Structure 1
Amino acid sequence: MRKELLKDPRVVRIVAPLLVGIVLLGSWQLICVAFKVPAYLVPTPLNIVQTLVANFGSLFGALLVTLKITLLAFLCAVLLGVMIAFLLVQSRIIEASLFPYAILLQVTPVVAIAPLIIIWVKSPTPALVVCATLVALFPIISNTVLGLRSVNPGLLNLFKLNRATRWQTLVRLRIPSALPYFFGGLRISCGLALIGAVVAEFVAGTGGTGAGLAYQILQAGFQLNIPLMFAALLLIAATGVGLFSCMAWLTRLSLRHWHESELA
Structure 2
Amino acid sequence: MRARGIENSPFRWLLPIAVMAAVILAWEAVVRLNDLPAYILPAPSRVIETLIADHAVLLASMLVTLKTTALALLVAIVGGVALALVFASARIVEFSLFPIAVILQVTPIIAIAPLMLIYLSTDTAVLMCAFIVAFFPILSNTTLGLNSVDPNLRDLFALSGASRLQTLLQLRLPTALPYFLGGARIAGGLALIGAVVGEIAAGSAGQGSGLAFRIVESGYRLNIPRMFAALLLISLAGILIYAALSLVSWLLLRRWHESALQSNR
> Above 0.5 in TM-score?
yes
Give the structure 1 partner of residue 69 of structure 2: 70
Superposed counterparts of 1:183-198, under 5 Å = 183-198=181-196
- Which letter maps to 1:170? L
Sort the Cα spacing of 1:91 and 1:10 in 2 relative to 1 into closer, same or farther, 3 A: farther
Deviation at 1:7, TM superposition (A): 5.8
Select the residue among 179, 182, 185 that pairs with 2:180.
182
Superposed counterparts of 1:1-264, under 5 Å = 8=8, 12=12, 14-121=13-120, 123-205=121-203, 211-264=209-262
Deviation at 1:72, TM superposition (A): 0.9
Deviation at 1:242, TM superposition (A): 0.3
**Which ranges of structure 2 fall in alignment gaps of 5 or more residues?**
none
Distance 1:9 1:139 in 2: 33
Distance 2:68 2:10 in 1: 32
Deviation at 1:35, TM superposition (A): 2.8
- Any idea what SS the aligned residue of 1:257 has? coil
Q: Retained in 1: the 8 A contact 2:126–2:195?
A: yes
**Which ranges of structure 1 fall in alignment gaps of 5 or more residues?**
none
Sort the Cα spacing of 1:9 and 1:248 in 2 relative to 1 into closer, same or farther, 3 A: farther
- Any idea what SS the aligned residue of 1:36 has? coil
Number of aligned pairs?
A: 257
Deviation at 1:119, TM superposition (A): 2.3
- Which letter maps to 1:19? A
Distance 1:260 1:10 in 2: 22
Distance 2:31 2:150 in 1: 56
Deviation at 1:67, TM superposition (A): 1.2
Q: Over residues 162-203 of structure 1, what are the superposed CA-to-partner deviations in whole Å (9 max), with x where a residue is unaligned?
A: 121111111101110111111101111111111111111111
Distance 1:79 1:11 in 2: 39
Identity between Structure 1 and Structure 2 (%): 48
- Any idea what SS the aligned residue of 1:89 has? helix
Aligned-residue CA RMSD (Å): 1.8
Deviation at 1:117, TM superposition (A): 2.1
Distance 1:201 1:257 in 2: 40
Q: Over residues 33-85 of structure 1, what are the superposed CA-to-partner deviations in whole Å (9 max), with x where a residue is unaligned?
A: 22333322221111111111111111111111111111111111111111111
Q: TM-score scaled by structure 1?
A: 0.92
Q: TM-score scaled by structure 2?
A: 0.91
Q: Retained in 1: the 8 A contact 2:202–2:213?
A: no
Distance 2:129 2:209 in 1: 16
Distance 1:262 1:111 in 2: 36
- Any idea what SS the aligned residue of 1:263 has? helix
Distance 1:120 1:163 in 2: 52
